[in-house]
């Protein structure tokens, strides 16, 4: 038994779950682990095991409390040992929107619910709450910094050599020119990883039927970011007409918004997100975690669709000059040993 195993067993015993049946659950790209626990009364809980509680568990608990306070559904925490990065939380079940879609559920109904949850969040998130929670501000500087992961990880892997200082500086300058206007509109809590894997359907009314998870990395930033995260999903195709209907649904809820500016913000922030995800997938592959490469072609299609828009013309020009055929969707990441 490892030291970590002993800590988990002790934590479970202190909370009356020494003999609980434990079933590992699928994880994500992080170092967090999850297990489903059978409790003595026949219900279930989720064990959260994270080695970095200051980055994961503590923000999750604080942000979750705030989200619950405005009427959204998040897993309640039943017990926690924050010093060791362990917690027991509600089990929202297995009905992720991803699973429901695979089983033939109506996509429009699910995406409408997810969009309405964002509307509720952006209407109700208290002014100053993100600052009170100490959340990072997702401003232009931070988004530009995220694009640099593409310059520093993806480009060397795909092109065989790092960028020159001049080319890297130009990449950064061009992104800054398009990102700054995209961040000029309204801001709210930014969940940051909002997609159908991270929303579950619950037997509750209204927007509370959307169970939200995986928001420990949330910050404060442009309201367009989470909607483009939902509708331009790295892991699954979303029909263009469905995506357009959801953008229209969101905008109808906020008639005071400048719709054209919002759409430009979605385009730029979507491109930022896709560039960063491409770099993350390649970085994981170079470390031996190659499962995400199946999505590389889709993410490139999403990125190139945004690069074709006028607001991203300066960045698109850089891509055209520096990423020739063989370095984009058809790039084969080499095996590592």
| pLDDT reported for residue 40 | 85
223, 253 Cβ separation under 8 angstroms: no
328 lies in some domain:
no
335 lies in some domain:
no
| pLDDT reported for residue 28 | 59
Separation CA 232–CA 219 (nearest Å): 20
> For residue 334, what pLDDT band results from cuts at 50, 70 and 90?
confident
315 lies in some domain:
yes
> For residue 331, what pLDDT band results from cuts at 50, 70 and 90?
very high
pLDDT greater than 80 at residue 26: no
Count of all residues that appear for the chain in the document = 337
| pLDDT reported for residue 32 | 84
Token output for 218: 């949330």
307, 325 Cβ separation under 8 angstroms: no
| pLDDT reported for residue 1 | 74
Please report the DSSP string for 167-189 in residue order. Answer: HHHHHHHHHHHHHHHHTSS-EEE
Same domain, 16 and 112: no
Same domain, 195 and 262: yes
Same domain, 81 and 128: no
Burial of 331 (0-12, 13-18, 19+ CB in 10 A): buried
331 lies in some domain:
no
| pLDDT reported for residue 337 | 54
Same domain, 177 and 265: yes
pLDDT in tens, 241-284: 999 999 999 999 999 999 999 999 999 999 999 999 999 999 99
Helices (H), 103-164: 107-124, 129-132, 140-149, 155-159
Same domain, 82 and 106: no
57, 85 Cβ separation under 8 angstroms: yes
Same domain, 107 and 78: no
pLDDT in tens, 40-59: 888 999 999 998 877 889 99
Same domain, 233 and 292: yes
Packing angle of the helix pair 240-253, 259-286 (nearest 10 deg): 130
Q: Which of 25, 58, 90 is the last residue of a domain?
A: 90
Question: Strand locations in the chain, DSSP E?
Answer: 21-24, 33-38, 44-49, 77-81, 86-90, 187-190, 199-201, 210-212, 219-222
70 lies in some domain:
yes
Token output for 72: 């959204």
CATH number, domain of 12, equals 3.30.200.20
> For residue 31, what pLDDT band results from cuts at 50, 70 and 90?
confident
198 lies in some domain:
yes
pLDDT above 70 covers a percentage of the chain that reads 99
Q: Tally the C-alpha atoms within 13 A of residue 327's C-alpha that lie toward its C-beta.
A: 18
162: left (phi over 0), alpha (psi -120 to 50) or beta: beta
Q: Which residues contact 90 (CB under 8 A, 6 or more apart)?
A: 45, 46, 75, 76, 78
Q: Which of 64, 90, 116 is the last residue of a domain?
A: 90
pLDDT greater than 80 at residue 129: yes
Separation CA 131–CA 117 (nearest Å): 22
- Domain encompassing residue 78: 3-90
> For residue 335, what pLDDT band results from cuts at 50, 70 and 90?
confident
CATH number, domain of 192, equals 3.90.1200.10
Q: Which of 90, 113, 132 is the last residue of a domain?
A: 90
| pLDDT reported for residue 137 | 98
The owner of tokens 């206007």 is 181
Q: What is the mean pLDDT of residues 142-162?
A: 97
Same domain, 65 and 103: no
Same domain, 43 and 168: no
In degrees and rounded to multiples of 5, residue 61 shows phi and psi of -65, -45
Same domain, 142 and 57: no
pLDDT in tens, 198-234: 999 999 999 999 999 999 999 999 999 999 999 999 9
Same domain, 68 and 155: no
Q: Tally the C-alpha atoms within 13 A of residue 192's C-alpha that lie toward its C-beta.
A: 20
Same domain, 304 and 200: yes
> For residue 29, what pLDDT band results from cuts at 50, 70 and 90?
low
30-60 residues labelled b (16+ CB within 10 A) or e (exposed): eebbbbbbbbeeeeebbbbbbeebebbbbbb
- pLDDT: is 4 or 337 the higher one? 4
What's the structural domain count of the chain?
2
pLDDT in tens, 77-120: 999 999 999 999 999 999 999 999 999 999 999 999 999 999 99
């Amino acid at each position: 038994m490892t030291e970590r195993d002993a800590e988990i067993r002790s934590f479970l015993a202190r909370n009356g779950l020494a003999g609980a049946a434990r079933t590992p659950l699928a994880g994500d790209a992080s170092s967090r682990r999850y297990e489903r626990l059978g409790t003595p009364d026949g219900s279930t809980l989720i064990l959260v095991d994270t080695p970095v509680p200051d980055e994961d568990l503590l923000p999750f608990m604080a942000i979750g409390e705030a989200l619950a306070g405005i009427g959204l559904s998040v897993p309640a925490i039943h017990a926690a040992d924050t010093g060791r990065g362990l917690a027991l939380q509600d089990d929202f079940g297995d009905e992720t929107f991803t699973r429901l879609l695979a089983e033939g559920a109506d996509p429009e109904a699910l995406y409408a619910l997810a969009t309405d949850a964002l509307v509720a969040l952006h209407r109700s998130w208290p002014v100053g709450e993100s600052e009170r929670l100490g959340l990072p501000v997702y401003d232009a500087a931070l988004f530009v910094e995220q694009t640099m992961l593409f310059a520093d990880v993806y480009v060397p892997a795909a092109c065989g050599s790092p960028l020159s200082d001049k080319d890297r500086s130009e990449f950064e300058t061009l992104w800054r020119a398009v990102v700054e206007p995209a961040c000029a509109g309204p801001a709210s809590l930014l969940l940051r990883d909002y997609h159908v894997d991270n929303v579950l359907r619950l037997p509750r009314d209204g927007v509370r039927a959307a169970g939200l998870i995986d928001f420990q990395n949330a910050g404060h930033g442009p309201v367009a970011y989470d909607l483009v995260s939902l509708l331009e999903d790295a892991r699954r195709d979303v029909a263009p007409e469905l995506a357009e209907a959801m953008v229209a649904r969101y905008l109808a809820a906020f008639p005071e918004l400048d719709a054209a500016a919002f759409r430009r913000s979605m385009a730029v922030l979507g491109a930022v997100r896709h560039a960063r995800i491409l770099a993350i997938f390649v970085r994981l592959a170079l470390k031996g975690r190659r499962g995400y490469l199946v999505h590389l072609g889709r993410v490139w299609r999403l990125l190139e669709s945004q690069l074709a828009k006028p607001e991203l013309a300066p960045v698109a020009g850089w891509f055209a000059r520096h990423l020739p055929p063989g370095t984009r969707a058809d790039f084969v990441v080499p095996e590592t040993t």
